[in-house]
A and B are shown apart, each in its own frame.
Chain A
């Protein structure tokens, strides 16, 4: 069978069988492309969601992270006593710590005056917060009360903050009913949980959210001395810290968040199911096309057998048809996938993009889809009896 695929050059029967019925070929390609696009979309959304949910988590300059055991995810962060973070300084491997406030606040669009909830982080402007240097020369401005750094990649519903700021205008707005001024821009990006982000000092944060109890924080960032093993230190801290606080390594912290979206919500399942549906739809379409092709041409296949063509040559024709459909159907699916990802990035700011792994995965799925359908359709070839053609 494999050699038959690369047999010597002859009449390109597989291609002619497909191309002499252009309408049916187009339907087949449209079906395969549609299935591919559906898979690209669903898998892209799924991965984009998981990636977006941890953009900020990835940025934190921390080896270990303290969180309340009641915190389930970035959209439901509970407070824990700030004392615990201070207590970790007793551990010799701990170099420095940063307390961080984390909550959702209502932001008033400076243009339309409508309000919308975004994620606010509060930290000590003198502390380290992000590994990225984007805060380096801006955090100083936060020492002044009522100043915030706005996420330029927030959804447009929050107003033309970045545009106005970049144009040199003074951008002021209301957060939780209090006047704030944008003193700088950062690049974070929205996630499924938060449509936008802002960063401010703990002092401003507490004035925006007076209900925040003193001495309670949502996140504690711990940086270790060089050479310390985060796993081991986390284990030691867990041993003596009271159980009103959980210790995560940064990696586990990221995983914890991703896992929330993956398991506690149906989102991962829904998108995987969507991709699976695309796959099934594609299978049905390709099978219909190939089965129809074999059935339509049964007397012709029987004629070829009567002429002395071996069955494997005929099976190879069906396999080659499947291969061609997969190859030709994948190209528009890939192109449309790239286009739609760009569209989604533009309109939702989600970090959805083509990854080589996904490109290969979708191609493999399309290939499996076409080959599987070809194999099933081939069984129809058994009905081609050359004795019946006279």
Chain B
């Protein structure tokens, strides 16, 4: 395959604290996410889902095991390598984490600005394209304060996609939204990710969106307990 698998995790373990305070939160995690695949990760609170996401997102240094993200082996990666890797990963957070002082367009452009070799006008144009793609073409110059929760999360998706990521990580992106809006957002995310051939790993508690996944991963107490293929959604 030309494209490396977005995620290949082999025997990944992680623990917080040292000495008697040491607590193992991830044990022997093995899984992979292929290009264009949408994988949902579920599990009870505190089982280590966010920790796994921060490891994959190169936000934390890897302690044990092997983790290849977009072909980069994280065990050997330094700070600079991890930062450059992060530029190729789109992240969507539980809160929208938009920059409050920027308009929707500027927020998305913060993502596009990471792209090398594009002029200012091109990056600006792309930001507008992405906002249109998430259905906010008429809200370009609104600041986050003036947008609804669902609109903010759409801007966050546009920002994450604007950097042309090969992998999207999302941690409970629908937690702050009502059920119907949440499902719309995830449907949008799934459609756009498929179009881009971008792998998706999404943590969720929301049972109404599980059917949107290509695959479900269930976690309990730091271990993956299930690894089953979900039924392919119709659209």
Interface membership of B29, Cβ < 8 A: no
A303 and B99 contact, CB distance less than 8 A: yes
Residue ID in chain A nearest B113 by CB atoms: A10
User: In the assembled complex, which residues on chain B have CB atoms less than 8 Å from the CB atom of A387?
Assistant: 54, 59-60
Interface membership of A90, Cβ < 8 A: no
Partner of A310, one of B83, B97, B106: B83
A308 and B59 contact, CB distance less than 8 A: no
Interface membership of A386, Cβ < 8 A: yes
B163 and A307 contact, CB distance less than 8 A: yes
Q: How far is the CA of A308 from the CA of B82 in the complex (A)?
A: 8
Convert A8-20 into 0s and 1s, putting 1 for each residue whose CB lies closer than 8 angstroms to a CB of B.
1111010011001
Partner of A307, one of B54, B110, B123: B110
Residue ID in chain A nearest B84 by CB atoms: A308
Within 8 A of A (CB), among B65-107: 83-89, 91, 93-95, 97, 99-102, 106
How near does chain B come to A132, taking the closest CB pair, in angstroms?
A: 60
Interface membership of B139, Cβ < 8 A: no
Partner of B86, one of A11, A13, A21, A306: A306
How near does chain A come to B91, taking the closest CB pair, in angstroms?
A: 6
Q: How far is the CA of A189 from the CA of B86 in the complex (A)?
A: 70
A307 and B102 contact, CB distance less than 8 A: no
User: In the assembled complex, which residues on chain B have CB atoms less than 8 Å from the CB atom of A8?
Assistant: 120
A307 and B87 contact, CB distance less than 8 A: yes
Residue ID in chain B nearest A16 by CB atoms: B101
User: In the assembled complex, which residues on chain B have CB atoms less than 8 Å from the CB atom of A297?
Assistant: 99-101
B109 and A386 contact, CB distance less than 8 A: no
How near does chain B come to A310, taking the closest CB pair, in angstroms?
A: 6
Interface membership of A269, Cβ < 8 A: no
- For the complex, count residues of A whose C-beta is within 8 A of B: 24
Residue ID in chain B nearest A19 by CB atoms: B101
Q: How far is the CA of A390 from the CA of B55 in the complex (A)?
A: 11
17 additional A-B residue pairs with CB within 8 Å, beyond A11-B106, A390-B59: A8-B120, A10-B113, A10-B120, A13-B99, A13-B110, A16-B101, A16-B102, A16-B106, A20-B143, A21-B101, A297-B99, A305-B83, A307-B87, A307-B91, A307-B110, A308-B83, A390-B171
Interface membership of B114, Cβ < 8 A: yes
User: In the assembled complex, which residues on chain B have CB atoms less than 8 Å from the CB atom of A300?
Assistant: 97, 99-100
A390 and B94 contact, CB distance less than 8 A: yes
Q: How far is the CA of A386 from the CA of B54 in the complex (A)?
A: 9
B94 and A308 contact, CB distance less than 8 A: no
Residue ID in chain A nearest B96 by CB atoms: A303
Interface membership of A389, Cβ < 8 A: yes
Q: How far is the CA of A192 from the CA of B94 in the complex (A)?
A: 68
Interface membership of B15, Cβ < 8 A: no
Residue ID in chain B nearest A301 by CB atoms: B99
User: In the assembled complex, which residues on chain A have CB atoms less than 8 Å from the CB atom of B99?
Assistant: 13, 297, 300, 303-304
User: In the assembled complex, which residues on chain B have CB atoms less than 8 Å from the CB atom of A304?
Assistant: 99, 110
Interface membership of B53, Cβ < 8 A: yes
Whether A390 touches B84, Cβ cut-off 8 Å, given contacts A11-B109, A11-B110, is: no
Partner of B57, one of A9, A10, A306: A306
How near does chain B come to A28, taking the closest CB pair, in angstroms?
A: 15
User: In the assembled complex, which residues on chain A have CB atoms less than 8 Å from the CB atom of B89?
Assistant: 308
Interface membership of A299, Cβ < 8 A: yes
How near does chain A come to B116, taking the closest CB pair, in angstroms?
A: 10
How near does chain B come to A386, taking the closest CB pair, in angstroms?
A: 5
Convert B126-168 into 0s and 1s, putting 1 for each residue whose CB lies closer than 8 angstroms to a CB of A.
0000000000000000010000000000000001000100000
Q: Can you offer 21 A-B residue contacts whose CB atoms are under 8 A?
A: A9-B120, A10-B109, A10-B110, A13-B110, A16-B102, A20-B101, A300-B100, A303-B93, A304-B110, A306-B57, A307-B87, A307-B110, A308-B83, A309-B114, A387-B59, A389-B97, A390-B50, A390-B59, A390-B93, A390-B94, A390-B171
User: In the assembled complex, which residues on chain A have CB atoms less than 8 Å from the CB atom of B54?
Assistant: 387, 390
How near does chain A come to B206, taking the closest CB pair, in angstroms?
A: 16
How near does chain B come to A304, taking the closest CB pair, in angstroms?
A: 7
Residue ID in chain B nearest A311 by CB atoms: B83
Interface membership of B111, Cβ < 8 A: yes
A17 and B59 contact, CB distance less than 8 A: no
Q: How far is the CA of A305 from the CA of B83 in the complex (A)?
A: 8
User: In the assembled complex, which residues on chain A have CB atoms less than 8 Å from the CB atom of B57?
Assistant: 306, 390
How near does chain A come to B72, taking the closest CB pair, in angstroms?
A: 13
Convert B183-216 into 0s and 1s, putting 1 for each residue whose CB lies closer than 8 angstroms to a CB of A.
0000000000000000000000000000000000
Residue ID in chain B nearest A9 by CB atoms: B120
Residue ID in chain A nearest B203 by CB atoms: A390
B102 and A299 contact, CB distance less than 8 A: no
How near does chain A come to B172, taking the closest CB pair, in angstroms?
A: 9
Partner of B87, one of A13, A21, A308, A389: A308
Partner of B114, one of A17, A20, A299, A308: A308
How near does chain B come to A384, taking the closest CB pair, in angstroms?
A: 12
Within 8 A of B (CB), among A340-390: 386-387, 389-390
How near does chain A come to B165, taking the closest CB pair, in angstroms?
A: 10
User: In the assembled complex, which residues on chain A have CB atoms less than 8 Å from the CB atom of B97?
Assistant: 299-300, 303, 389
B86 and A307 contact, CB distance less than 8 A: yes
